[in-house]
Amino acid sequence: MTIYLDHAATTPLRREALEAMLPYLTEQFGNASSLHGPGRRARAGLDEAHEKVASALGATPREIVFTSGGTEANNLAIKGAAWAGKTRGHRIVISQVEHHSVGHTVRYLEKFGFEVVEVPVDRFGRVDPDELDRALNTKTILVSVMMANNEVGTVQPMADIAERVRRYKGVLLHTDAVQAAPYLPIDLDELDVDLLSIAAHKFEGPKGAGALFVRHGTNLLVQQQGGAQERYRRAGTEDVAGAAGMGRALELAVAERDETTARIGELRTALMSAVGVDAAVQMTGHPTERLPGIASFVVPGLDGTALTIALDLAGVAASTGSACVSGSNEISHVLTAMGYADDEARGALRFSLGRTTIAEEVTQAADLIVKTIAHQREAATKLAGAMPVLKADAAAAERTGVSAG
Protein backbone atom coordinates (compact mmCIF):
# COMPACT_ATOMS: atom_id res chain seq x y z
CA MET A 1 0.00 0.00 0.00
CA THR A 2 1.32 3.45 -0.93
CA ILE A 3 2.29 5.93 1.78
CA TYR A 4 0.92 9.21 0.43
CA LEU A 5 3.23 12.17 1.13
CA ASP A 6 2.14 14.53 -1.64
CA HIS A 7 -0.65 16.53 0.03
CA ALA A 8 0.72 19.77 -1.42
CA ALA A 9 -0.23 18.43 -4.86
CA THR A 10 -3.70 17.35 -3.79
CA THR A 11 -5.53 15.87 -0.83
CA PRO A 12 -8.13 13.10 -0.55
CA LEU A 13 -11.75 14.25 -0.54
CA ARG A 14 -12.95 13.99 3.04
CA ARG A 15 -16.21 12.22 3.80
CA GLU A 16 -17.96 15.29 5.20
CA ALA A 17 -17.24 17.30 2.05
CA LEU A 18 -18.59 14.50 -0.14
CA GLU A 19 -21.75 14.32 1.97
CA ALA A 20 -22.24 18.08 1.57
CA MET A 21 -21.93 17.68 -2.21
CA LEU A 22 -24.19 14.67 -2.76
CA PRO A 23 -27.59 16.42 -2.53
CA TYR A 24 -26.57 18.80 -5.36
CA LEU A 25 -25.32 15.92 -7.48
CA THR A 26 -28.60 14.03 -7.08
CA GLU A 27 -32.05 15.29 -6.08
CA GLN A 28 -31.11 18.99 -5.65
CA PHE A 29 -29.72 19.27 -9.18
CA GLY A 30 -31.34 22.57 -10.11
CA ASN A 31 -29.64 25.52 -11.78
CA ALA A 32 -29.01 28.15 -9.11
CA SER A 33 -30.11 30.88 -11.55
CA SER A 34 -33.55 29.34 -12.13
CA LEU A 35 -36.57 30.81 -10.36
CA HIS A 36 -38.48 27.58 -9.75
CA GLY A 37 -38.28 25.38 -6.65
CA PRO A 38 -35.29 23.23 -7.70
CA GLY A 39 -33.42 26.37 -8.72
CA ARG A 40 -34.20 28.13 -5.45
CA ARG A 41 -32.98 25.14 -3.45
CA ALA A 42 -29.74 25.10 -5.42
CA ARG A 43 -29.41 28.84 -4.84
CA ALA A 44 -29.85 28.30 -1.10
CA GLY A 45 -27.01 25.76 -1.16
CA LEU A 46 -24.79 28.15 -3.07
CA ASP A 47 -25.56 31.00 -0.68
CA GLU A 48 -24.70 28.76 2.27
CA ALA A 49 -21.37 27.90 0.63
CA HIS A 50 -20.58 31.60 0.18
CA GLU A 51 -21.32 32.13 3.86
CA LYS A 52 -19.10 29.25 5.01
CA VAL A 53 -16.11 30.30 2.92
CA ALA A 54 -16.54 33.93 3.92
CA SER A 55 -16.78 33.05 7.60
CA ALA A 56 -13.64 30.92 7.43
CA LEU A 57 -11.69 33.80 5.88
CA GLY A 58 -13.15 36.67 7.88
CA ALA A 59 -14.92 38.11 4.84
CA THR A 60 -18.52 38.81 3.85
CA PRO A 61 -20.37 36.42 1.50
CA ARG A 62 -20.58 39.06 -1.24
CA GLU A 63 -16.76 39.27 -1.29
CA ILE A 64 -16.37 35.60 -2.32
CA VAL A 65 -16.26 34.64 -6.01
CA PHE A 66 -16.34 30.92 -6.74
CA THR A 67 -14.00 29.74 -9.50
CA SER A 68 -12.86 26.45 -11.01
CA GLY A 69 -9.75 26.38 -8.81
CA GLY A 70 -6.69 28.28 -7.66
CA THR A 71 -5.36 28.85 -11.17
CA GLU A 72 -8.54 30.57 -12.33
CA ALA A 73 -8.70 32.57 -9.09
CA ASN A 74 -5.13 33.80 -9.66
CA ASN A 75 -5.86 34.60 -13.30
CA LEU A 76 -8.99 36.55 -12.42
CA ALA A 77 -7.17 38.47 -9.70
CA ILE A 78 -4.11 39.37 -11.81
CA LYS A 79 -5.77 40.08 -15.15
CA GLY A 80 -8.86 41.66 -13.61
CA ALA A 81 -6.85 44.04 -11.42
CA ALA A 82 -4.32 44.83 -14.16
CA TRP A 83 -6.87 45.79 -16.78
CA ALA A 84 -8.99 47.69 -14.29
CA GLY A 85 -5.95 49.76 -13.26
CA LYS A 86 -4.44 50.30 -16.73
CA THR A 87 -5.52 53.95 -16.86
CA ARG A 88 -3.55 54.69 -13.67
CA GLY A 89 -0.36 52.74 -14.36
CA HIS A 90 1.22 49.68 -15.88
CA ARG A 91 3.66 48.19 -13.35
CA ILE A 92 2.95 44.81 -11.74
CA VAL A 93 5.25 43.57 -8.96
CA ILE A 94 5.55 39.88 -8.02
CA SER A 95 8.10 37.71 -6.27
CA GLN A 96 10.45 35.39 -8.14
CA VAL A 97 8.92 32.31 -6.51
CA GLU A 98 5.26 32.68 -7.48
CA HIS A 99 3.24 29.74 -8.80
CA HIS A 100 3.14 29.56 -12.60
CA SER A 101 -0.53 30.59 -12.57
CA VAL A 102 0.75 33.99 -11.43
CA GLY A 103 4.12 34.07 -13.19
CA HIS A 104 2.84 32.96 -16.59
CA THR A 105 -0.14 35.29 -16.32
CA VAL A 106 1.96 38.42 -15.79
CA ARG A 107 4.24 37.39 -18.65
CA TYR A 108 1.15 37.17 -20.83
CA LEU A 109 0.17 40.68 -19.75
CA GLU A 110 3.57 42.01 -20.84
CA LYS A 111 2.40 41.51 -24.42
CA PHE A 112 -0.16 44.26 -23.81
CA GLY A 113 2.23 46.86 -22.44
CA PHE A 114 2.32 45.98 -18.76
CA GLU A 115 5.67 46.14 -17.01
CA VAL A 116 6.54 43.21 -14.73
CA VAL A 117 9.07 43.49 -11.92
CA GLU A 118 10.15 40.35 -10.06
CA VAL A 119 11.42 40.90 -6.53
CA PRO A 120 14.28 38.55 -5.57
CA VAL A 121 14.20 36.20 -2.59
CA ASP A 122 16.91 35.05 -0.20
CA ARG A 123 18.39 31.56 0.18
CA PHE A 124 15.32 30.55 2.18
CA GLY A 125 12.85 31.78 -0.46
CA ARG A 126 11.71 34.83 1.49
CA VAL A 127 11.00 38.27 0.07
CA ASP A 128 12.78 41.19 1.72
CA PRO A 129 10.11 43.91 2.23
CA ASP A 130 12.82 46.54 1.60
CA GLU A 131 13.50 45.00 -1.84
CA LEU A 132 9.78 45.09 -2.59
CA ASP A 133 9.64 48.70 -1.46
CA ARG A 134 12.31 49.60 -4.01
CA ALA A 135 10.24 47.98 -6.78
CA LEU A 136 7.19 50.16 -6.06
CA ASN A 137 6.56 53.49 -7.75
CA THR A 138 3.69 55.75 -8.74
CA LYS A 139 3.01 53.61 -11.84
CA THR A 140 2.50 50.43 -9.79
CA ILE A 141 -1.06 49.11 -9.90
CA LEU A 142 -0.74 45.60 -8.46
CA VAL A 143 1.50 43.55 -6.16
CA SER A 144 1.16 39.76 -5.92
CA VAL A 145 3.12 37.76 -3.35
CA MET A 146 2.12 34.24 -2.36
CA MET A 147 1.36 33.66 1.30
CA ALA A 148 3.35 30.40 1.42
CA ASN A 149 5.37 28.63 -1.26
CA ASN A 150 4.08 25.40 -2.74
CA GLU A 151 7.52 23.83 -3.33
CA VAL A 152 9.56 24.63 -0.22
CA GLY A 153 6.83 25.78 2.19
CA THR A 154 8.39 29.15 3.06
CA VAL A 155 5.90 31.63 4.57
CA GLN A 156 6.20 35.22 3.40
CA PRO A 157 6.17 38.28 5.75
CA MET A 158 2.78 39.42 4.50
CA ALA A 159 2.18 41.99 7.25
CA ASP A 160 5.39 43.84 6.35
CA ILE A 161 4.64 43.53 2.64
CA ALA A 162 1.14 44.97 3.11
CA GLU A 163 2.55 47.86 5.13
CA ARG A 164 4.90 48.79 2.26
CA VAL A 165 2.21 48.48 -0.39
CA ARG A 166 -0.20 50.70 1.55
CA ARG A 167 2.23 53.59 1.27
CA TYR A 168 1.14 53.88 -2.36
CA LYS A 169 -2.47 54.91 -2.80
CA GLY A 170 -4.50 52.77 -5.16
CA VAL A 171 -2.05 49.85 -5.43
CA LEU A 172 -3.87 46.53 -5.04
CA LEU A 173 -2.33 43.64 -3.10
CA HIS A 174 -3.07 40.02 -4.05
CA THR A 175 -1.88 36.88 -2.31
CA ASP A 176 -2.02 33.30 -3.51
CA ALA A 177 -3.09 31.46 -0.34
CA VAL A 178 -3.71 28.12 -2.05
CA GLN A 179 -1.11 26.27 0.05
CA ALA A 180 -1.54 28.43 3.15
CA ALA A 181 -5.31 28.27 3.65
CA PRO A 182 -5.49 24.92 5.50
CA TYR A 183 -2.59 25.65 7.84
CA LEU A 184 -2.17 29.38 8.46
CA PRO A 185 -4.70 31.61 10.20
CA ILE A 186 -6.31 34.00 7.74
CA ASP A 187 -7.98 37.16 9.01
CA LEU A 188 -8.51 39.38 6.01
CA ASP A 189 -8.76 42.58 8.01
CA GLU A 190 -5.44 41.83 9.68
CA LEU A 191 -3.84 40.49 6.50
CA ASP A 192 -4.87 43.69 4.68
CA VAL A 193 -4.96 42.26 1.16
CA ASP A 194 -7.44 43.20 -1.56
CA LEU A 195 -7.49 39.83 -3.32
CA LEU A 196 -6.82 36.30 -2.06
CA SER A 197 -6.99 32.95 -3.87
CA ILE A 198 -7.73 29.49 -2.49
CA ALA A 199 -8.38 26.01 -3.94
CA ALA A 200 -10.61 23.35 -2.37
CA HIS A 201 -8.52 20.30 -3.20
CA LYS A 202 -5.67 21.54 -1.02
CA PHE A 203 -7.80 21.10 2.12
CA GLU A 204 -9.69 17.90 1.32
CA GLY A 205 -12.37 19.53 -0.79
CA PRO A 206 -13.22 18.66 -4.40
CA LYS A 207 -10.97 19.32 -7.37
CA GLY A 208 -12.30 21.93 -9.78
CA ALA A 209 -13.48 24.27 -7.02
CA GLY A 210 -11.75 27.44 -5.89
CA ALA A 211 -12.52 30.93 -4.70
CA LEU A 212 -11.24 34.47 -4.97
CA PHE A 213 -11.77 36.96 -2.18
CA VAL A 214 -12.40 40.40 -3.65
CA ARG A 215 -12.49 43.10 -1.01
CA HIS A 216 -15.60 45.26 -1.23
CA GLY A 217 -14.88 48.30 -3.39
CA THR A 218 -12.01 46.67 -5.32
CA ASN A 219 -12.21 47.42 -9.03
CA LEU A 220 -11.84 44.25 -11.07
CA LEU A 221 -12.39 43.89 -14.81
CA VAL A 222 -14.39 40.71 -15.43
CA GLN A 223 -12.53 38.13 -17.51
CA GLN A 224 -15.40 35.79 -18.37
CA GLN A 225 -18.56 37.08 -20.02
CA GLY A 226 -21.93 35.45 -20.63
CA GLY A 227 -23.99 35.68 -17.47
CA ALA A 228 -24.74 37.47 -14.21
CA GLN A 229 -23.40 34.74 -11.92
CA GLU A 230 -21.20 35.58 -8.93
CA ARG A 231 -22.46 39.16 -8.93
CA TYR A 232 -21.39 39.61 -12.59
CA ARG A 233 -17.77 38.76 -11.71
CA ARG A 234 -17.58 35.22 -13.10
CA ALA A 235 -20.10 34.16 -15.74
CA GLY A 236 -21.18 30.54 -16.09
CA THR A 237 -23.54 28.09 -14.42
CA GLU A 238 -22.36 27.65 -10.85
CA ASP A 239 -21.01 24.33 -9.61
CA VAL A 240 -23.20 24.18 -6.52
CA ALA A 241 -21.92 20.76 -5.47
CA GLY A 242 -18.30 21.89 -5.72
CA ALA A 243 -19.01 25.06 -3.76
CA ALA A 244 -20.86 23.12 -1.06
CA GLY A 245 -18.02 20.63 -0.71
CA MET A 246 -15.49 23.43 -0.60
CA GLY A 247 -17.41 25.34 2.05
CA ARG A 248 -17.71 22.30 4.31
CA ALA A 249 -14.07 21.25 3.85
CA LEU A 250 -12.76 24.74 4.64
CA GLU A 251 -15.07 25.05 7.62
CA LEU A 252 -13.63 21.83 9.09
CA ALA A 253 -10.03 22.68 8.17
CA VAL A 254 -10.28 25.96 10.08
CA ALA A 255 -11.95 24.33 13.10
CA GLU A 256 -9.23 21.65 13.24
CA ARG A 257 -6.31 23.86 12.22
CA ASP A 258 -4.53 24.17 15.58
CA GLU A 259 -4.57 20.44 16.25
CA THR A 260 -3.66 19.52 12.67
CA THR A 261 -0.77 21.95 12.32
CA ALA A 262 0.74 20.98 15.67
CA ARG A 263 0.55 17.26 14.91
CA ILE A 264 1.84 17.31 11.34
CA GLY A 265 4.51 19.83 12.30
CA GLU A 266 5.90 17.26 14.74
CA LEU A 267 5.68 14.54 12.11
CA ARG A 268 7.49 16.71 9.56
CA THR A 269 10.28 17.42 12.06
CA ALA A 270 10.60 13.69 12.74
CA LEU A 271 10.76 12.96 9.00
CA MET A 272 13.43 15.58 8.37
CA SER A 273 15.50 14.30 11.29
CA ALA A 274 15.23 10.70 10.11
CA VAL A 275 16.19 11.57 6.54
CA GLY A 276 19.10 13.62 7.85
CA VAL A 277 20.40 16.97 6.68
CA ASP A 278 24.05 17.23 5.69
CA ALA A 279 26.16 17.96 2.61
CA ALA A 280 24.57 14.99 0.83
CA VAL A 281 20.95 15.90 1.63
CA GLN A 282 20.14 19.58 2.11
CA MET A 283 16.93 21.08 3.46
CA THR A 284 15.34 23.78 1.32
CA GLY A 285 13.10 26.60 2.50
CA HIS A 286 13.06 28.57 5.72
CA PRO A 287 13.98 26.55 8.84
CA THR A 288 11.16 28.00 10.96
CA GLU A 289 8.92 30.25 8.85
CA ARG A 290 7.43 27.43 6.81
CA LEU A 291 4.24 25.43 6.43
CA PRO A 292 3.98 22.65 9.00
CA GLY A 293 3.56 19.78 6.53
CA ILE A 294 6.24 20.40 3.88
CA ALA A 295 9.65 18.72 4.14
CA SER A 296 11.70 19.75 1.11
CA PHE A 297 15.25 18.81 0.16
CA VAL A 298 17.82 18.80 -2.59
CA VAL A 299 20.03 15.76 -3.06
CA PRO A 300 23.02 17.04 -5.08
CA GLY A 301 24.32 14.64 -7.69
CA LEU A 302 21.04 12.74 -8.02
CA ASP A 303 18.00 13.30 -10.22
CA GLY A 304 14.82 14.19 -8.35
CA THR A 305 12.57 12.65 -10.98
CA ALA A 306 14.45 9.35 -10.82
CA LEU A 307 14.23 9.47 -7.03
CA THR A 308 10.46 10.02 -7.02
CA ILE A 309 9.98 7.12 -9.46
CA ALA A 310 12.15 4.88 -7.28
CA LEU A 311 10.24 5.99 -4.18
CA ASP A 312 6.95 5.25 -5.91
CA LEU A 313 8.16 1.72 -6.66
CA ALA A 314 9.18 1.43 -3.00
CA GLY A 315 5.70 2.54 -1.87
CA VAL A 316 6.12 6.26 -1.12
CA ALA A 317 4.26 8.93 -3.13
CA ALA A 318 6.30 12.15 -3.21
CA SER A 319 7.24 14.79 -5.79
CA THR A 320 10.08 16.97 -7.00
CA GLY A 321 8.05 20.12 -6.40
CA SER A 322 5.06 21.69 -8.11
CA ALA A 323 2.68 19.15 -9.66
CA CYS A 324 2.16 21.63 -12.51
CA VAL A 325 5.60 20.87 -13.96
CA SER A 326 5.96 17.21 -12.96
CA GLY A 327 7.04 15.04 -15.86
CA SER A 328 8.90 17.90 -17.57
CA ASN A 329 12.65 18.55 -17.61
CA GLU A 330 12.10 22.04 -16.25
CA ILE A 331 14.34 22.98 -13.35
CA SER A 332 12.46 24.57 -10.46
CA HIS A 333 12.32 28.33 -10.89
CA VAL A 334 11.82 28.52 -7.12
CA LEU A 335 15.12 26.81 -6.31
CA THR A 336 16.90 28.79 -9.03
CA ALA A 337 15.61 32.03 -7.51
CA MET A 338 16.85 30.83 -4.11
CA GLY A 339 20.36 30.51 -5.53
CA TYR A 340 20.66 26.77 -6.10
CA ALA A 341 22.82 25.67 -9.04
CA ASP A 342 21.18 23.56 -11.74
CA ASP A 343 22.88 20.33 -10.61
CA GLU A 344 21.58 20.90 -7.09
CA ALA A 345 18.06 21.90 -8.17
CA ARG A 346 17.75 18.75 -10.31
CA GLY A 347 17.90 16.75 -7.09
CA ALA A 348 14.79 18.35 -5.58
CA LEU A 349 12.47 16.25 -3.42
CA ARG A 350 9.27 17.35 -1.65
CA PHE A 351 7.37 15.37 0.95
CA SER A 352 4.12 16.98 2.06
CA LEU A 353 2.03 15.74 4.96
CA GLY A 354 -1.67 16.32 5.57
CA ARG A 355 -4.41 15.82 8.14
CA THR A 356 -4.70 12.11 7.36
CA THR A 357 -0.96 11.38 7.67
CA ILE A 358 -0.13 9.20 10.68
CA ALA A 359 3.09 8.61 12.62
CA GLU A 360 3.50 5.01 11.48
CA GLU A 361 3.49 6.14 7.84
CA VAL A 362 6.18 8.73 8.49
CA THR A 363 8.39 6.18 10.28
CA GLN A 364 8.05 3.67 7.44
CA ALA A 365 8.51 6.33 4.78
CA ALA A 366 11.67 7.72 6.39
CA ASP A 367 13.29 4.29 6.29
CA LEU A 368 12.34 3.82 2.63
CA ILE A 369 13.54 7.33 1.71
CA VAL A 370 16.97 6.80 3.30
CA LYS A 371 17.37 3.41 1.61
CA THR A 372 16.23 4.74 -1.77
CA ILE A 373 18.63 7.70 -1.70
CA ALA A 374 21.49 5.37 -0.72
CA HIS A 375 20.61 2.92 -3.50
CA GLN A 376 20.36 5.69 -6.10
CA ARG A 377 23.67 7.16 -4.97
CA GLU A 378 25.36 3.75 -5.17
CA ALA A 379 23.97 3.25 -8.68
CA ALA A 380 25.15 6.72 -9.72
CA THR A 381 28.65 6.01 -8.35
CA LYS A 382 28.87 2.72 -10.26
CA LEU A 383 27.71 4.41 -13.44
CA ALA A 384 30.26 7.19 -13.00
CA GLY A 385 32.99 4.57 -12.52
CA ALA A 386 31.93 2.73 -15.63
CA MET A 387 31.80 5.80 -17.85
CA PRO A 388 35.57 5.97 -18.67
CA VAL A 389 35.50 2.30 -19.74
CA LEU A 390 32.39 2.82 -21.86
CA LYS A 391 33.93 5.89 -23.48
CA ALA A 392 37.17 4.03 -24.17
CA ASP A 393 35.27 1.11 -25.75
CA ALA A 394 33.27 3.50 -27.90
CA ALA A 395 36.42 5.32 -29.02
CA ALA A 396 38.16 2.04 -29.88
CA ALA A 397 35.13 0.85 -31.84
CA GLU A 398 35.04 4.10 -33.78
CA ARG A 399 38.75 3.78 -34.69
CA THR A 400 38.32 0.21 -35.94
CA GLY A 401 34.97 0.82 -37.55
CA VAL A 402 33.35 -1.86 -35.37
CA SER A 403 30.07 -1.10 -33.70
CA ALA A 404 30.31 -0.97 -29.89
CA GLY A 405 26.81 -2.44 -29.75
Active site residues: 324
Q: How many CB atoms lie within 10 A of CB 237?
A: 12
Q: Return d(Cα 303, Cα 143) in angstroms, integer.
A: 35
Task: Kindly state the DSSP code that residue 344 receives in the 8-state scheme.
Answer: H
Q: How many residues does the chain have?
A: 405
Contact status, residue 158 vs residue 318, Cβ threshold 8 Å: no
| CA pair distance 22, 273, nearest whole angstrom | 42
CA 321 to chain centre: 10
Q: Exposed (0-12), middle (13-18) or buried (19+): which is 28, by Cβ within 10 Å? A: middle
- Buried (b) or exposed (e) across 292-327, using 16+ Cβ within 10 A? bbbbbbbbeebbbbbbbebbeebebbbbbbbeebee
Question: Which residue type does 255 have?
Answer: A
Q: Which residues pair with 196 in a beta bridge?
A: 175, 213
Angle between the N-to-C axes of helices 304-314 and 359-400, in degrees from 0 to 180, rounded to the nearest 10: 120
CB atoms within 10 A of CB 74: 30
